[in-house]
Structure 1
């Protein structure tokens, strides 16, 4: 893949406009000269995407009307970590046999003990997800996977642990478009379905392995049907339409460490701005994040930090133009 330049300068602009007297230096960076301020805009680096993804350059128009180029990224399943497991087979199984679940901001191992304790955990005796031998009720066919994942799931799948496996999506690929150079907006945009008059995209971003950072999982719908749809230890699970996708950043997917103690980079938001882990090397979260969970520094330009793994959230909104 073509090596893409990093555009480096010094202070963030509210709106980035290219000056007629911009120029390149010997370090393959572009210095944008403005009347009062100079900002850093970091191009998307296509070489950061891992083997197993296909990246090409296409013409595109962004949500703010900017005519530019975008990377078209085609991917299917991750190549940097295993998928699953999700559901344990028996209530005697340890954490290695299952994935994770999130509740009230916390991450829990879905081991046999968790399954056995669900009635107490949710204060509801309806939960009984195993038989007299301790074997967990798990979806074990593609049909069961599809039916149990239906928002209107019926009684047949009550008290089932929903596990859709990679074999069900061998022919499925996903295609993403992100601008080759991010365009910062003057105000943020909500994701589709979130804020008043929201019209933005559903997808939050893309990991370096081409897997989607997804919208929040419909946890209330899942639990109200007395089903459980765990994520694996990487924060991902599968449905047959969306493929494998993440609902939490747990540090299992590829990440790029930073030399200055900053949190590692884990991918790109759908607007082309970098997405970084929640915590810096010293285990602290940046204290200057904006409403979208983004901030600026001279090295990385404007970029986001994901929310905590138990939050069922990555970033809150977009501060850059995106593809409809």
Structure 2
């Protein structure tokens, strides 16, 4: 069994036409919202930079986190053994955070705790059905691995693109996490073995001991607008659980439409969603790609199909002037 090296001192840190039938499966959203980071190409699932834990804001572009589609699967179904149902979710709905294992693939790590308030390296590996570390991954939205970390109360969102060593060990540089329980998500497409070409999302939890670890921040009320770094993001559309729909996102600044959005992970924005209560994971796919050197905005359309009703915390990331901005808002699905 693969054993990952013990971390140093852990600290936080598309096929364009994806199947639109997510049915009762937890959808993988193509645009992920991550904290500010450097921009990056879009092939593998590239999401991220290392935004500060507990905040959404800007950072210099460089290893950014953009939305991405995973070939062969738009949904990440939760493992029954690790999922939990959320209040108000219809019986039988495929909800809950993805498990650490699916279809023989497993997210393996020796990291069980992280130190609060200090940067850290989260080391892990993806083992295949044969029990050995997987080293062949397809590039999706410019990245071979999209890695997310979010606190159980859906604060402290981080979207990263870790590096892999020759032995299959990945290292994700986490920004300093706050005390509490965090869940990490690995989104990837293996390029070998029985699961070749199928997008997967696996996750597991990690504890960050310290003062306030048991305290949970109240989820912000559902709202169609949010601001970050002087930009205002407005979201139009009311998704209905289990039904395909569309969300329109408009970006403005000082009351004027923003038309200089830069490509980020092959799109002009990356949107990721997490279900309140059970931390189910979803990707909202943009309906248009972004060509290198082009600019976009102010309005972006996303294909949305959320598997469960209730509150979802959305994290939208977009790039302007080489700076990655991350904004979070709460959306309610009927």
Give the TM-score, by structure 2 length.
0.23
Higher strand residue share:
2
Bigger Rg, which one: 1
